[in-house]
A and B are shown apart, each in its own frame.
Chain A
Amino acid sequence: MSNQPTSKDDQEEQKSKKPADTAFKQQRLPAWQPIITADTALPVFLIIGLLFIPIGIVLVVTSERVLEYDLDYTEGNCMSTTVSNTTCAKVLQNGGSSCTCDIPINLDQPFTGKVYFYYGLVNYYQNHRRYVKSRDDNQLLGKTDAVSKDCQPFQKSVNGSDYTPCGAIANSKFNDSLTLVFNGSQTVPLLNTGIAWTTDKDVKFKNPNNASTYFQNNPPPPNWKYTAWDLDKNNSDNNGYKNEDFIVWMRTAAMPAFRKLYRRLNTNSSQTFQGGLPQGNYTLKVQYNYPVINFSGRKQFIISTTSWMGGKNPFLGWAYIVVGIVCMIAFVVFFILHKTWKLQNRPPT
C-alpha cells in the first residue's frame, strides 16, 4: 500500500505500468457463443430423437432375444429328498446341516449358444458397510502376515490364529451346490472356471507359498466346513484363494438383489450340449446348505444366454425409446412455439 504516489524523480522504476495488450488479459479470447433458442435447439431435438429411437429398438430387440429361465428354490419346490414333506429350508432351520432336493425344470425352447448358470440372492445385503469392509486384500494376495482388523468379527479364531480367508464376506460364501440333469440321466456338463474377472484371477487373488500346508495349519472361516484348499481339489489353479466361485463371491454386489455367475455350459464335452441346452426336461439337483429363510432371503437358480450386450435387461432400450420420444415431442412443441412466436414478434409492416 503506497501512501503517496511515487514522485517522478524517484530513481527506481521508470518503466511504464501500462498493462499488456493480450487477448487473455483484455478478456478478448475468441469464443464460441452457443445460444439455446428454438432455432438452434430444434435440430438437436430432432437428431437425438432420430438417433435414440432406433438405438432403443435395437437394444430392446437384443434384450428380448436373450433367453432366461428363473427358478426360485428357496422353499416350497425344494422338498428334502431324505426327510419327507419337509422343505430343505425347514430342515436347515431345524438344525440340519445339509439337505438335498430335486426340482424339475422344463425348457420349452432350446437355449442355443453359450449358456450361463447363475445363482441369485434376494434381500441379501452384500453392500452393507460392515460387510463390504470385512476382508483383507493383502491376505488374498497370498501374504501370510497377520490379517487386518477390518476382518472383524471374522478376524481370528478362538485360539488366536487368523481365519484363512478372513472376514465376513469370505465367511458367508455361497455354498449350495447346483447340478443339472437332462432327461433324468444325463448330467449337464458345467465349467467352473472362466466365471471370474480375469484381473481378479490373475492379480488380486494368489495363494500363499506352500498353500496346502498353510491352509491346513490355519482355520477356515467358522461357517466353512472345509478349508480353502478343498474348494476345488481337481484343479490346483482353481483352488484356495484362486477358486473362482470364491473370487466371484468376493466381488460384493451392488444391490440387495443380485445374481452371480455360477457355472458355464461346457459345449465341448458332449454331443447333446454342443449347440447349447436342448429343449426338454431337466432336473435341478440342489445340495441345500445356505440358510436364507431367517432374513426372508430368496435363492434363485437362473439359466441364461447372453447377447453382445450381456444379460437380459430391456430397460436401457426402453429408456432410449422414451427419451427419443420426449425429444420428438419437444421438437414438435418447439416447432409450433417457434412459428407462433415468430408471428407474434414480426415487426409491423
Chain B
Amino acid sequence: MDDDTKRIITINHGPQQTKFVSNRISTSKYSILSFLPKFLFEQFRKYSNIFFLCIAVLQQIPGVSPTGRYTTAVPLSIILCCAAIKEIIEDVKRHFQDGAVNKRRVLIYRSGNWLYTTWQRVKVGDIVKVLDNEFFPADLVLLSSGEPHSICYIQTSNLDGETNLKVRQGLPQTAHMISSVQLRDLLGVIECELPNRNLYDFAGTLKLNNVAFPIPLGSDQILLRGSQLKNTAWIYGLVIYSGHDTKLMMNSSSVPFKRTNVEQVTNSQILFLLVLLLILCLFSTIAGEIWNYRNKAAHWYLGLTRLTDDKTANSIPNHFGYTFLTFFILFNNLIPISLQITIDLVKFIQAYFINWDIDMYDPETDTPASARTSNLNEELGQVKYIFSDKTGTLTKNVMIFKQCTISGIMYGSGNVAEFNSYELLKNLEYHTSSKQIREFLTLLATCHTVVPENKLNTDSFNDVAYQASSPDEYALVTAVKEMGVVFFRRTPDSVVISFRGQEETYEILNVLEFSSERKRMSVIVRSPNNEIKLYCKGADSVIMERLVADEPNVPLTMEHLESFAKDGLRTLCLAYRTLTDQEYKEWLVRHREASTAINNRNELVAEVAERIERNLILLGATGIEDKLQDQVPDSLSMLLKAGIKIWVLTGDKKETAVNIGYSCKLLSDQLLNLTLDEATLDDTQRQLREHCQTFGDSLRKENLASLIIEGKTLKYALSPSCRQDFLDLAISCKTVICCRVSPKQKAEVVELVKQSTNEITLAVGDGANDVGMIQTAHVGVGIMGREGVQAACASDYTIGQFRFLTKLLFVHGVWSYRRLCKVLLYSFYKNICLYVMELWFAFHNGFSGQILFERWTIAIYNVLFTAAPPMALGLLDRCCSAETMMRFPAIYKMSQNRSDFNIKVFWSWCLNAVYHSIILYFMSYAMLRHDVAYSNGQAGDYLLLGNMIYTYVIFVVCLKAGLESDSWTMLTHIAIWGSIASWFVFFIIYSNIWPTIPLAPEMRGMAKYVFSSMYFWFGLILIPITALLADFIYNCLQRTLYKTLMQEVQEKEVANQDPYDLVMARQTSTVSRVAERLALLKSVFVRTRTPKMSGIIPGPYHGFAFSQEEDGVVPQNQLIRTYDTNIQKPPGL
C-alpha cells in the first residue's frame, strides 16, 4: 500500500493507523507561547519599525546622537506596546470565534454507543449522525439516510452558489444501515485520495469485510463541510477529511494580504521622504564639514582641535560618517514614528464603529455588521465597481407564487405580498373558464418532482410538508395546496391529490424530464375518469410553438407574461392535451424503444417526447417571485446613483439572472440591453467588436446600458484576444450581468477589472463560490445570513443584509476615507513642522547638529503632546451627517476619485508644514534676537528660545487639527485643548525635577522663565495666528470660490436647510447628458443591426425561469418512482 498517494481509513476498528489532523480549526494568529516571537517578527517586517529600530541602535554609539541614547527606543517601545495590545484584543476575539465553531455539538457513534461530542473531537473514521437543517461537521461519506434508497438532499449554496438542492445517495451496500446494531457490523476500509481543494471531484473505494470486491465511491456519496442537510430527517456519515483537511478549509486558506491604495501612496511617499531625508543629512553633513574645516582651529573656545580621544575627531572619512549619522538621527523624525500605530489604531476603532452601527444590525438573524479586517476601511469610500453574487445576496432564495393568468384572466397582484385566491376560487365555481382553472390547478398539483411528507402522520393536510429540489415547484405545489388542491401522497406510479376535499388519484404514466434545452417538463397521467392527459409546463417560447392553431388566449396571455416579467417574476406557461388511448399506445411503443436505445438515448427520448408534446391547449401562466432580500432594488439604485457600476455574477442560468436583473431594477426597458451569448471564440470576438464600434465615442464612458453575458461566452471574452474589447464594452455599461459563471471565472472577471481600470472593486457574496472573487477584489464583503458563512470567512467585512452595503459605503466608507486621509496628512505635517526646524537652527549653529529643544520633550512629541489630535481627526471628524450622505449618494462620488489623498495633496501638506516651521522659527528668532527678554535685564539661552518655539509648535499643530476638523465634538475639544494642556503640565513638572531626579538639568527653571517673559505671551498670540492665517485664508478662499458639493451640503446642514435642491441642480446636467447619449445609441443600435444579430434582447421579455437539478445522481424520473409515502420512514438509531 502506498500511503503517500492515498488515505486509508479503517471503519469501526479503534484508532486509525495513520494520525490525521483533528477536526479542530484554528484561524487565530498567535498562541500564548508563540506570541512574542511572532509579534516581533510581524512588527519588524514593517519598514518603519526597522527604520526606527536602526535609529535606536545608532543612538547607542557614544558621541553621535544629538538627542541622547534612549529617545527613540522609548517611544518605539511605547508604540510597540500599543500594537501588542491591539493584536492581543483581535486575536482573543478570533480564539472565541473558533471556539464557538469547534464546540458545536454533534452525535457520533463510537465503540457501540451514541454520544454527543463537540465538533473539535470528531475524528477521521467516526460515524456521525446529522439531522435535518444541520451543517456537516467534516467531509463525510454518506452511509445511509432517513429517506428511501439512502437519498438525502443537501444545500450547497455556500459552496457553489447554486439555488437548487442537490441529491446525494449512499451506496446500496450501506443503505440498509439504519440502526446502531447494523452500524456495529460495518467493518472495512476506505481508501481515498489525499485531501485536496477540488470541490466537485472525489475518488475512493470502500472495501467491506463481508463484500468480496471493493466498491467505488464518488462525489455522489460525499457530504462536504459547509453544506447543510435539507429535507432529510437524518443521515449517517463516515468522516473522511477533518479540520483543515476538509475541502472547504483547503479552499478558504491563504487569505491574501490586501494593501490599500492610500497605503501604497503613503509608502511610496515615505520612500521619497526618506530620500529627501538622506539628501538633507548629506547637505547638512557637507555644510558641517566645511564649517568645521574652516573654523575648527579659529574657534578655540569649542576645543575641537583638542578632541583627541574621540572617534569622531579622527580621519576625515570617519568623521564624515559620524557626522552623517548625527544628522540622520537628528532628522529621522521627519518620518513620523507614530504613523503606523496611529493609522492602525484609528482603523481599528473605525472598524469598531462599523461593528457598533445599529443601522447595520439585522434583527432577523441577530447579526451586526462586522469588520474582519480593519485594514481596508478607507477603500470602502472609493468603490467604483461592485461585483455581486445573486443567490443569497440579492435574493433570499425563497420562491413565492405571486400571480397567474388563466384563459386570459389575470389573478393576483404584483403589489401585495401573497397571492389572494378569492377571485380564482370564485371563478372556479361559476366562471366560463372554470374547466381551464380546474386543469390549471390539477397540472400544478401533479406535474412536478416534489415529494410530500407528513411527519406527524396525521390526516390533516396542514401537516403535509414538501421536499423539492426545485424551489419553483415547491412554490407552485405549496400555492395550490393553499387553494385547497392538496398533493399529499406519492407512490411509485401515482399521485394522490385532494381537489377541494375530493380525493383523486392520478396514475403517472410517463415523465418527460426537464432540461435546459427542452425548457419544459411534461407528465402523462391517467385521470380518475380514465382519461389520458399530458400536462406540460415550460418556457413561453417552447409552449407557444406547440399549441393548437388559433388558440384564442395567446395574445392576452403574452401580454400578462410581459407584465409579470416587468415585475421580475419568473414565469412558466402551462398547457395540456387529452390523448386518446390509441395515440398514447402508439407513442408509448416509440418511447420504450428510445429509452432502451443504446446510442444517443437522451436525444432519442427527447425526440420522441417532441412528438407528443404538441397540439397543446394553453391553460395560462404562473408568475413566481424570487424573493429579493430587503430593499435590494432601492439599495442598488442608490449605489448606481453614487456612480458605482454593478456587476452581477451568478452561477445561475441566464433566465434566472435576467429575471433578477429586472426585479432589482438593474435592467429595464429604459436601458440599452446588450447580450453576449456566442458559443465560439471567433463569434465572440466579432460580436464584441461590433458592439464596441457601435458605442463609438461613448465607449468607456458612462452610458445607460447594460450587458448580459453567458458563462461560455465569458470564457472567450476573457481570452487575451478579446479581453480588451470586452473590458471596453463592459465598463461602458452601468450594469453587467454574467450568468453561469464558475467561481473561478468570478475571480477572473474581478481580476480583469481590478487590473485594467485601476479603480477600487468590491465583491459581495454569501457562498463559498464567491470566495474567489471576494479575495480577489480590493474589498470583499460577505453576507452573513442564516445560511453558511463561507464567504464571510474569506471576506473583509460581513453584513447581515445586502441593503447594509449602502451605509457601509456611503457613511463608513466615506468617513473612514476622509478621516484616514486627514490622519495621514496630518501625521506627516506635524512631524515635518517640528523637525525641519532643526535644519533652520543648523544654519545658526554651524551645522553641528545641536538640537533646539530638550531631547525628551521632542522624543515624546509624537506619543503624548500630539497623539490625540490625529485620533480625534481619525475617529470623530464628520464631513456631513450620516442621514445626508445616505440621502444623497452623489456625495460618494467625491471620495471615489481619490481627491483627498494623492501625491499633490501630500506634498502640499508637507510644504505647508515647512512654511509653518519657517514662520515659527524665524519669527521667534527675530523676537528674541536681542536676548533680553525680561524687564530685569536678564537674558535667555538657547533652550528658552527652544521651549517658546516648542510651545508655539504645539499650539499651531493642535489648532491645525482643529482647522481641518469639520466637526468638533466634545472629545475633539478634549483632544485639542487637552494636548496643549498636557504640554503645559509636562513642561511645568519637567522644569522642576532637577536635581531631585537626575534628569534634564538644562530644563530646570525653564517653565518659570518662559512664563514670566512678556515676549513669550505676546509671541503666543501673534506667532501661531500668523502661521495659521495663511491656511485660514486659503480655506476661506476655497470655500468662497470653488466650493465642492460636499462643502455646500455641509453649509446647508449647518444652516438647517434642506440640501435637496442643491444636489439635484448639480445632478441634472450630467443626467440629461447621459440620457441624450442613450437616445443616440439606441437609434444607432436599432438602425445598424438586424434583431437576430444585434445581441439586444429581442422583442418583449417574458421572464421564463425555472430551477431544477439536471444530470444529478438520481434522475427526475427515478426520483419520482422512488418514493412511496405510504411507507413509514426509518427513524434512525
Contacts and interface: CB of A to CB of B under 8 A. Distances in A.
A4 B841 CA distance: 62
Contacts of A21: 358
A307 interface: yes
Interface stretch (B258-266, B299-307, B665-673, B1093-1101): B299-307
Among B848, B1035, B1050, max chain A CB count under 10 A is at B848
B882 A27 contact: yes
B848 A261 contact: no
Contacts of A32: 967-969
Given A2-B98, A41-B1036, A320-B1022, A307 B935 contact: yes
B971 A29 contact: yes
A130 B1005 CA distance: 23
Interface stretch (B9-17, B783-791, B1103-1111): B783-791
Given A6-B104, A309-B1018, A326-B1029, 17 more contacts: A3-B248, A17-B361, A19-B355, A30-B970, A55-B1021, A116-B937, A118-B939, A125-B299, A127-B850, A128-B848, A132-B942, A153-B308, A252-B942, A259-B932, A260-B931, A310-B937, A330-B1033
A131 B135 contact: no
Interface of A: 1-7, 10, 12, 16-21, 25-38, 41, 44, 48, 52, 55, 59, 114, 116, 118, 124-132, 134, 137-138, 141, 149, 152-154, 168, 171-172, 194-200, 203-204, 248, 251-261, 264, 291, 294-296, 304, 306-313, 315-316, 319-320, 323, 326-327, 330, 334, 337-338, 341
B4 interface: no
Nearest to A14: B366
Contacts of B516: none
B700 interface: no
Interface of B: 25, 27, 62, 66, 94, 97-98, 100-101, 103-105, 134-135, 225-226, 248-249, 295, 297-304, 306-310, 326, 353, 355-359, 361, 363, 365-368, 372, 784, 786-790, 793, 815, 841, 844-846, 848-850, 852, 876, 878, 882, 923, 925-946, 963, 965-972, 994-995, 998, 1001-1002, 1004-1005, 1008-1009, 1013-1015, 1018-1019, 1021-1022, 1025-1026, 1029, 1032-1033, 1035-1036, 1039-1041, 1047, 1050-1051, 1053-1054
Contacts of A197: 938, 1005, 1009
Among A27, A32, A137, A154, max chain B CB count under 10 A is at A27
Contact of B994 (A204, A254, A308): A204
25 contacts: A3-B790, A19-B356, A25-B357, A27-B882, A36-B1032, A37-B1039, A128-B299, A131-B303, A131-B848, A138-B998, A149-B62, A199-B1005, A203-B1004, A204-B994, A204-B1004, A256-B846, A261-B932, A296-B298, A308-B935, A311-B931, A315-B926, A319-B923, A319-B926, A320-B1018, A323-B1022
B851 to A, nearest CB: 8
Contacts of B972: 31
A291 B300 contact: yes
B967 A3 contact: no
Given A153-B306, A309-B1014, A137 B1040 contact: no
A254 B945 contact: yes
B789 A17 contact: no
Contact of B1040 (A17, A26, A254, A334): A334
Contact of B939 (A30, A149, A258): A258
B1015 A294 contact: no
A152 B972 CA distance: 49
Nearest to B1006: A199
Contacts of B300: 172, 291, 294-295
Contacts of A203: 994-995, 1004-1005
A255 B995 contact: no
B929 A323 contact: no
A17 B368 contact: yes
A341 B1026 CA distance: 27
Contact of A3 (B25, B923, B945, B970): B25
Given A3-B25, A7-B134, A311-B931, A255 B925 contact: yes
B94 A1 contact: yes
Given A37-B1036, A203-B995, A17 B366 contact: yes
Contacts of B844: 127, 254-256
Contacts of B372: 1
B783 to A, nearest CB: 12
Contact of B966 (A10, A27, A33, A306): A33
Contact of B941 (A2, A20, A25, A253): A253
Contacts of B355: 19
- Shortest Cβ-Cβ A-B pairs, 3 listed: A199-B1005, A311-B932, A172-B301
A261 to B, nearest CB: 5
Among A126, A131, A199, A310, max chain B CB count under 10 A is at A310
B307 A153 contact: yes
B1105 to A, nearest CB: 29
Contacts of A327: 1029
A171 B301 contact: yes
B935 A25 contact: no
Contacts of B365: 5
B358 A18 contact: yes
B1009 A199 contact: yes
Contacts of A131: 301-303, 848
A3 B946 CA distance: 58
A154 B303 contact: yes
B1040 A37 contact: yes
B1000 to A, nearest CB: 10
Contacts of B994: 137, 203-204
Contact of A319 (B882, B1026, B1040): B1026
A130 B848 contact: yes
Contact of A18 (B100, B368, B788, B936): B368
Given A6-B104, A37-B1036, A254 B356 contact: no
B938 A261 contact: yes
Contacts of A36: 963, 1032, 1035-1036, 1039
Nearest to B1023: A319
Contacts of B1029: 48, 323, 326-327
A31 B968 contact: yes
A309 B302 contact: no
Among A141, A307, A316, max chain B CB count under 10 A is at A316
Contact of B935 (A38, A168, A306): A306
A312 B789 contact: no
A41 B1032 CA distance: 8
A255 B969 contact: no
A251 B310 contact: no
B930 A312 contact: yes
Contacts of B307: 130, 152-153
Nearest to A204: B1004
A29 B488 CA distance: 59
A264 B937 CA distance: 8
Contacts of A168: 301-303
Contacts of B105: 10
A106 B550 CA distance: 131
Among B297, B298, B786, B793, max chain A CB count under 10 A is at B298
B101 A4 contact: yes
A326 B357 CA distance: 47
Contacts of B1022: 52, 316, 319-320, 323
Contacts of B929: 255, 257, 313, 315
A7 B104 contact: yes
A118 B928 CA distance: 15
Contacts of B1004: 199-200, 203-204
A327 B1028 CA distance: 12
Contact of B927 (A1, A28, A307, A315): A315
Contacts of A309: 935, 1014-1015, 1018
B67 to A, nearest CB: 11
A19 B369 CA distance: 10
A124 B62 CA distance: 26
B850 A128 contact: yes
